[in-house]
Structure 1
Amino acid sequence: MSQMDKVVKPLPSAVSVLIVDDEPGMRSFLKKALSKKFALVETAASVEDAEKLRSRCHFDLLLVDIRLPGRSGIEWHEALDDKERRSDIIFMTGYADMEVAIQALRAGASDFIMKPFHLEQMMKAVDRCIERRLLKRENLMLRREMSISHSSTIIGRSDAMTEVKHIIERVAPTNAVILIEGESGTGKELVARQLHQLSGRQGPFVPVNCGAIAPELLESELFGHVAGAYTGAKGNREGLFSFASGGSIFLDEIGEMPLKMQTALLRVLEQKVIRPVGSEKEVSIDVRVIAATNRKLADEVELGNFRRDLYYRLNVLDILIPPLRERPEDIVELSHHFTRQLTSELGVKEVIWSHEDLISLQQHDWPGNIRELRNMIERCILLGKPPAEYCKMASVAEEAIAQQGYPLDWSLKQVEKSHVTRVVDSMGGNKSAAARELGVSRKTLDRKYKEWQEGTADKEE
């Protein structure tokens, strides 16, 4: 099976179509036919009406009559020239004019159909456009996956990482649910990708950050929904579990998942079925589940924040990734790896760090783990400063704060801002990880930053 075959094709039901024709009978005829196949089919009688619809919703395919009241289809420059939200366009006309056909194709048409036409002729033209569009999406996904896979090697020869790599090789070929535990920035997603790549599964790797999706939307994102399931659900939508069919889904920060969703996930793991929101039918799935957390789930169970039965179901195979401070012997190899990778990405001359730099890197505490190390290497390359200088400055600052605390004349708001920004920096700029470390929601953290930028007074939580 080729690499392209490994990419699961998005279902055609997710395609959206806009029909633009001034004949009511033609609009009705095409909408009835296409609605049987696609989730969203809208109609308009003019370019102006169509543009209003297009401003509210992206359409994958436009079926446009050339001769329209007002502006003609070929003069619809907003759609023809829109490279960011490019739609495939099939032009229709009842006038057998070769010059018009050539003009339409030059304007960017994907196809051109003469009226009157048989429905089968139109459907074949539509299918050709959709197949080309899906192929482009697949190629984009494949290039992204290949780009990621080139940098997905797990670096480290310490005893702890050698054991991690041994466990990965042993359990990857199985279909067992796996739980990856480790502090923020230790490389949990990298381990998950390695598990997928060595699994032999042919479907895609689909990462999901459970803490980054609003709780009220998480069920729909994971399981999909049917038309009318809730306000705004105009058509059926495939969830991420369906998209991961035949592959692996990576549920990062599983400890952030609401209790209601934990119940639903437990059923998925036990029954191998999902139920889209608003549907009465269950759908069988073939997906390998890999979960990760920077929390101690056993403690969360005792606190009542995580279901005990789900914890036991996830914890069949546990991979614990040690923090960077516990494996300093891996830091030199990681530093060389990131330096080569970043100088290539940034298009600058390769840098060779001194022995003093490498020693200072090994002696640093790295509260943000590998993510912090990579960010520091990138900063040093861009600013032309040696890592030893960065580590020294960081150590002096941390020691001063530990010994003296914050200045006594600082207000509580100043102390709060300083502490929050230090935690965010220690997490390599990852605000979601910093919010968890601070014990607040990401929304609260974003609001704090917005208030500081605007200079407004902070409000009590």
Structure 2
Amino acid sequence: MPDTADPSLQPATAPREHWPLAAVLVVDDEPGMRHFLEKTLQPRVGQVHSAASAEAADDLVRRHRYDLVVLDIALPGISGISWLKALRERGFDGEVVLITAFADLDTAIEALRAGASDFILKPFRVTQILNALRQGLERAGLRRENWVLRRALHQATPAADGLVGDSIAIKGLQAALQRVAAVDSIVLLTGESGTGKELAALALHHNSPRAAGPFVPVNCATLSPELIDSELFGQAQITGSTPGSGRPGRDGLFVYAQGGTLFLDEIGELPPAQQATLLRVLEERRIRPVGSEQEIPVDVRIVAATHRKLADEVEAGRFRKDLYYRLQVVEINLPPLRAHKEDMAALVAHFIATLAPRLGVPPITVTDDELRYLQQYDWPGNVRELRNLIERSLILGALNVSALYQGLARQDRRQEAGAPRTAAAAGTTALPATTDLHTLEKQHILAVLDSVGGDKTRAAQLLGISRRTLERRVAEWGQGG
């Protein structure tokens, strides 16, 4: 029996802050050992279940999710090693620490081959078992972090760099994010598409006490309605009637975000059924994996974002009013680019500096006249649209004036058709740009044509226009042939 006089056994002195929130299963046929481990681990990890046999433990594993299993080898009925092999075959990937009073080298080797994470001989000291279990939970945490990193790399998309600039609008946004980052409240980020909501969520995370934990982004609009529950909350293991059949258990994004931040982008796209489930999770801080009867406590900060006006969605019956109010603890609106065009030069310089090395191309020079042309456009795609323009321009070797000209032409057509102008656009003094912009367009198109040896088909592809349009432009300038 362990040394129960060890002060680390007492729950009151348990160093809870050094232990991750986790679910642990203890499997041992000795009641004293089960009681000792339950009493020792409960204040440290938050959730501990126990079983006296592999058969009873198997029933628990089918219904609940565990981060770590403490397993005795010598059990009545199925032995610990035999049950461990069956667990691994069914897809259980949690940590397993084997304990036994009778072991030799062959047993230890067999245990490790069966998938044990650690192997401890009885009797053991409290510090010995605690160190083994803490290391096992740290390994489980590293696996979650690695999964998050792999997922982020797999889904990597350029960040919408919307926080660059010195305008009043951006400085106000930065100050608001700094204040809110220090508290653990739910945050709702609103604003048009392309304004940089994910970057704002990252800023909240990195400036918060949770910065050492994972940042897990998920776009609710891209989740299949049939898989949303299992993606967010995980699913319990289901065993089929024949060996190898059934469905392995899996963790959801809430579990992967333990101790960190879960960013729910486009929350307005969440179906009604999942809105109700999410509301319960936000209120109770517990999730229930699909197919499980057990709820799992979660320790995550929620940051949600939407380009929709959720108040209008509530009025239309498409979004739950109670969930809207729960998310609206702190609401931060990100300004559209047209509201802070004075940041254009800083944004352009930022994108050139970050994208040119990534693309492996030399930086381009943007003149003051070109910057003024950029400021005439309303940028309906916001900072993301500007970023895409700079990326295309870097590939072409000069500012992509043709794309800007097309955007301004569409903007002019909307205004001629009577479309209301934004307050920001209405307050901007339009420059007499038509002639100069045509000149810039001509210079750019002819430069691209020259760079491809006069190949109009290739030049049209690079310019993003049709060959017929290119030929018409060239004919207008008397450059045919």
TM-score, L = length of structure 1: 0.60
1:177 is aligned to 2:186 = yes
Deviation, structure 1 residue 123:
3.1
Partner of 1:198: 207
User: C-alpha distance in 1, partners of 2:141/2:196?
Assistant: 32
The residue type paired with residue 224 of structure 1 is G
User: C-alpha distance in 2, partners of 1:10/1:399?
Assistant: 61
1:319 is aligned to 2:319 = no
Partner of 2:398: 385
User: C-alpha distance in 1, partners of 2:160/2:82?
Assistant: 46
Quick check: which has more Rg, 1 or 2? 2
Partner of 1:272: 285
Deviation, structure 1 residue 356:
1.4
Partner of 1:25: none
Pairwise mapping of residues 114-263 of structure 1 onto structure 2 (< 5 A)? 118-124=106-112, 126-127=115-116, 138=145, 154-201=163-210, 202-228=212-238, 234-263=247-276
Query: Which runs of no fewer than 5 residues in structure 2 stay unpaired?
Result: 1-17, 26-64, 68-78, 95-103, 119-135, 419-481
Deviation, structure 1 residue 317:
0.3
The residue type paired with residue 35 of structure 1 is A
TM-score, L = length of structure 2: 0.57
Quick one: which of 359, 372, 376 aligns to 1:363?
376
Change beyond 3 A, Cα 1:212–1:243? same
| Conserved? CA contact 1:8–1:204, under 8 Å | no
Which of 329-338 and 380-389 deviates more?
A: 380-389
Change beyond 3 A, Cα 1:181–1:305? same
Aligned residues: 317
Pairwise mapping of residues 391-430 of structure 1 onto structure 2 (< 5 A)? 391-399=404-412
Deviation, structure 1 residue 33:
2.5
Give % identity.
Answer: 43
Query: Which runs of no fewer than 5 residues in structure 1 stay unpaired?
Result: 16-27, 42-58, 61-115, 406-461
Partner of 1:86: none
SS at match of 2:221: coil
Deviation, structure 1 residue 203:
1.7
Change beyond 3 A, Cα 1:333–1:278? same
The residue type paired with residue 316 of structure 1 is V
The residue type paired with residue 199 of structure 1 is S
User: C-alpha distance in 2, partners of 1:230/1:185?
Assistant: 46
Cα RMSD over matched residues?
Answer: 4.1
SS at match of 1:211: helix
| Conserved? CA contact 2:268–2:306, under 8 Å | yes
Change beyond 3 A, Cα 1:38–1:359? farther
Partner of 2:5: none
Deviation, structure 1 residue 228:
2.8
Which of 228-237 and 130-139 deviates more?
A: 130-139
Deviation, structure 1 residue 118:
3.2
The residue type paired with residue 33 of structure 1 is L
